Chain A
Amino acid sequence: MTIETSTIETKDDNKQTSSVVVEMQHLKKSFGDKEVLLDINLVMNKGENLVILGKSGTGKSVLIKCIVGLMEIDDGKLLLFGQDISELKAKELTELHRKIGFLFQSGALYDSMTVRENLEFPLRRQVTKVSKKEMDELVKEALENVGLSDTIDMTPSELSGGMRKRLGLARTLILKPEIMLYDEPSTGLDPITSKEISNLILEVQKKYHTSSIIITHDRECAKLTANRIIVIKDGVCAAEGSYAELVKSEDPWVRSFFE
Chain B
Amino acid sequence: MEKIILEHFQNRKQEEETVPKNIPEIVSNTVVDKFFLEVYSLTIFTVRFFKEVFKPPYEFNELMKQSFLIGYKSLSLVAVTSFIIGLVLTVQSRPTLAKFGAESLLPVMVAISIIREIGPVITALIFAGKVGSGIGAELASMNVTEQIDAMQVSHTNPFKYLVVTRVLSATLMLPILVAFSDAVGLFGSYIAVNLKGNVSSYLFYSQIFQSLEFKDLFPAFIKTFFFGFAIGLIGCYKGYNSNKGTEGVGKAANSAVVFASLMVFIIDMIAVQITSLMQN
B147 touches A68 (CB 8 A): no
Q: How far is the CA of A111 from the CA of B249 in the complex (A)?
A: 15
Are B155 and A70 interface neighbours, CB within 8 A?
no
The reply on A105 being an interface residue by CB < 8 A is yes
For A111, give its contact among B145, B154, B155 (CB under 8 Å).
B145
Chain B residues within 8 Å of chain A by Cβ, number: 16
The answer to the question of B153 belonging to the interface, with a C-beta cut-off of 8 Å to chain A, is yes
Stretch at the interface among A9-17, A96-104, A208-216: A96-104
- Closest Cβ neighbor of B155 among chain A residues: A125
Cα(A126)–Cα(B153), bound, Å: 12
CB distance from B173 to the nearest CB of A (A): 18
Most buried by A among B22, B149, B150: B150
A19 proximal to B (CB < 8 A): no
Chain B proximity mask over A63-107: 1 for CB below 8 Å, otherwise 0? 001001110000000000000000000000010011011101110
Inter-chain contacts of B145 with A (CB < 8 A) = 106, 108, 111
CA distance A68 to B149 in the complex (A): 10
Question: Are B150 and A104 in contact, with the CB atoms below 8 A?
Answer: yes
Nearest opposing residue in chain B for A100, CB measure: B153
A94: which B residues are within 8 A, CB to CB?
A: 155
**Which residues of B have CB within 8 Å of A258?**
none
Q: Is B141 an interface residue (CB 8 A)?
A: yes
B147 touches A111 (CB 8 A): yes
Give which listed residue, A69, A100, A102, A111, contacts B141 with CB less than 8 A: A111
Convert B11-53 into 0s and 1s, putting 1 for each residue whose CB lies closer than 8 angstroms to a CB of A.
0000000000010010000000000000000000000000000
In the complex, residue of chain A having the shortest beta-carbon distance to the beta carbon of B148: A108
* Bound complex: CA A33 to CA B25 (Å): 11
Is B152 an interface residue, CB under 8 A from the partner? yes
* Residues in A lying within 8 Å of B, measured CB to CB: 32-33, 65, 68-70, 94, 97-98, 100-102, 104-106, 108-112, 121-122, 125-126
17 contacts between A and B (CB under 8 A): A32-B22, A32-B25, A65-B149, A69-B152, A97-B153, A97-B155, A98-B155, A102-B150, A102-B153, A104-B146, A109-B150, A110-B147, A111-B141, A112-B138, A121-B154, A122-B155, A125-B155
The 8 A-B pairs with the shortest beta carbon distances in the complex, nearest first, are A108-B150, A108-B146, A122-B154, A102-B153, A104-B146, A125-B156, A108-B147, A125-B155
